[in-house]
Amino acid sequence: MSYRFLIIIVLFLAILGCDKDDDNHSVDCEFSTLISSEAYENEPSDLVTINSLKINGDCLKINFSAGGCNGNSWEVKLIDSEETSKSLPVQRNLRLSLKNEELCYAYITKELTFDISNLKISGNKVQLNITNSDDTILYEY
């Protein structure tokens, strides 16, 4: 009798521990997005290839590659130009800044997430143009 009771307790605790948010909209982003026209113009712009962009909630996931040893010393920032266009939808220009001082011949791919909630404007969407990429992505909120 106590064996069955123990199984019921374990199953109950397992059910309570399950994440019911399958869409993962409460994802914590790894980095914030900087809004600064000065940084947009002046931060490092070492060679980087943006492979893909994906939005999950308020996080922009960027998959990118660059040459280096292992990528552990890279300094990566997502920077907004501080300007918006008068189009529909409104557009913002961003740049993925990479400072890469690694002198190796490996080609490293990384994936980082950036909190883009500070890019919201009036309305419910904004087009994000990543200037050092051929891609744009629509941010709906």
- Tell me the HSE value of 5 on the side-chain side, using a 13 A CA sphere: 2
Residuewise pLDDT in 10s, the chain (141 residues): 555 544 555 444 455 454 444 444 446 999 999 999 999 999 999 999 999 999 999 999 999 999 999 999 999 999 999 999 989 999 999 999 999 999 999 999 999 999 999 999 988 999 999 999 988 999 999
Query: Which pLDDT does position 1 carry in this prediction?
Result: 53
Strands 31-35 and 106-115: parallel
Q: Provide the b/e sequence for 112-124 (b: ≥16 CB within 10 Å).
A: bbbbbeebeeeee
Query: Which pLDDT does position 129 carry in this prediction?
Result: 97
Tokens of 47: 């060679």
